[in-house]
Structure 1
Amino acid sequence: MNRLQLNFECKDHRLAGTIDTALGKTGLLIVTGGNEVRAGAYSGQASLARDIAEAGFPVFRFDRRGVGDSEGENRGFRKSKKDLRAALEAFRAISPQLERVVGFGNCDAASALMLARGAGCDSLVLSNPWTIEGGDGNAAPPPDAIRARYLEKLKNPAEVLRLVKGGVDLRKLGRGLIHATKSNSPQSTLAHEMADGIAEFEGRVTFLLATADRTAQVFESNWDRTDPRIRRCEGAGHSYVEPHARVWLRDQILDALRAV
């Protein structure tokens, strides 16, 4: 396995990419969310790419326009379809043995892939898709997520003992209980658009949800919770930094690569 840096073109702008080489005929295209560079949070995507390549699958990741080492204007995930397709074309050009490509994105990178109807990928792994209107990262968890969290706490003897001993902020608890009694908000417009986009995608789709992540909780409130394509990692945060979550994420992606 070798790691190579390269540049490719998108609408007269030079974009930066990195490939971890391998001989496999199925590859992984990692799409970065938000304004993160292609290494990912705490180099998480770089580490993931290395692990996947060592398992025999080439991996390509890139900075979209206006992010990191790439030229151009950052127009956000809603307008990144051309970036995705340019990256996929570059990936196929530098890895001519490729027959299939799995697209992977976390947060609004997953949303971008859904809005772009897969952007030419053969299969998708969509993690914690972003469905919050207006880009408000401080949005409260949906009521059903709060109810589920409180139910789990009541099942935990240590949490019950903590409540009895006065170790819980009763004002905060009261506010949470009031919010939990409300009904969930109607599905967001963004979620509707994402659902329409993915409905036109003919390849295999896997949704990965980190149960401790607010973005994932909001997604579930905007989606069919019984969707058989959903897989959940208990206790995982948004970027899967927990040791068990890192292993789980890697294994889920490898499963998708082997299933194409």
Structure 2
Amino acid sequence: MSRLHFTFPCAGETLAGTLDSGREASGLLIVSDGNEVRSGAFSGQAHLAERIAAQGFPVFRYDRRGVGDSSGANRGFEKSADDIRAAIDAFRGIAPKVSRVVAFGNGDAASALMLAGGAGCDALVLSNPWTIEETAQQQDALPPPDASRARYLSKLTNPAELRRLATGGVDLGKLARGLVRAARPVAAPGGLAQRMATGLSAFDGPTAILLATADSTAQVFESGWDAEDPRIRRCERASHAYVEPHARDWLEAQLLEMLRA
């Protein structure tokens, strides 16, 4: 395995990419979450690429326009379809043996792939898709009612928490606000979630939707999605970035399963 850094064009700008080479015809395209650079937080995506490439699968990562080493203006994930398509073309160009591209996106990277209808990829691994509207982000970043109900039910059945309540160790105002939110009905999916569902419906390739059950982004997504969707796979006690050892191994297994399919 070797690692190559290079640049490629996108809509008149220059994007930076990294290829971890592999012998297999299926390759993994990693789309970064948020405004993260292609190495990921604390080099998490670079380490993931190294592990997947060690199994023989080439891995391509890139910085979209206006992020990291790439030129241009950062237009956000909702307008990044051209960046994804340019990355796919560059991946196929620099690794001509790759005949099948599996795209992996976590958070709003998953949302970007859904909005773009797969953007020309052959298979999708969509993790913890971001469905929170910008107007909602400007309010308190609170978990959905389902998550709040589960949290407070756990607290109210925990003897230690009940002792804290009885001895004044609980902020009663905060508790009251949390219980009010837990009592609210689940909100209907917003416009972003609907557009993501529409985009994904246009994609007919293999798709896996991965949800880290301890992640609030995943909880918000699931509260407005069909819980019986057969494409959903859940990793218990996992956080958004799958940093827990069991979650990291689980994520890697999901990606390898899709690459080998």
TM-score, normalising length: structure 2: 0.94
Counterpart of 1:97 in structure 2 is: 97
Aligned residues: 255
Q: Which amino acid aligns with 1:52?
A: I
Once the two structures are superposed, the pairs formed by residues 109-258 of structure 1 within 5 Å of their partners are 109-134=109-134, 136=137, 138-153=140-155, 160-166=158-164, 169-171=170-172, 172-258=174-260
CA distance in 2, matches of 1:249, 1:79: 27
What is the aligned-residue RMSD (CA, Å)? 1.5
CA distance in 1, matches of 2:84, 2:164: 52
1:241 is displaced (CA, Å) by 1.2
1:151 is displaced (CA, Å) by 3.9
Q: 24-33 or 245-254, which moves further after superposition? A: 245-254
Q: Which amino acid aligns with 1:125?
A: V
CA distance in 2, matches of 1:228, 1:153: 31
Deviating above 6 A after TM superposition, structure 1's stretches of 4 or more consecutive aligned residues are none
Q: 130-139 or 195-204, which moves further after superposition? A: 130-139
Residues 60 and 139 of structure 1: CA distance in aligned 2, closer, same or farther (over 3 Å):
same
Q: What is the aligned-residue identity percentage?
A: 61
Q: Secondary structure at the match of 1:166?
A: helix
Q: Which amino acid aligns with 1:100?
A: R
1:119 is displaced (CA, Å) by 0.6
Q: Does 1:46 align with 2:78?
A: no
Q: Which amino acid aligns with 1:214?
A: S
Q: Secondary structure at the match of 2:188?
A: coil
Q: Secondary structure at the match of 2:259?
A: helix
Structure 1 alignment gaps of length 5 or more: none
Q: Which amino acid aligns with 1:127?
A: S
CA distance in 1, matches of 2:162, 2:81: 53
Structure 2 alignment gaps of length 5 or more: none
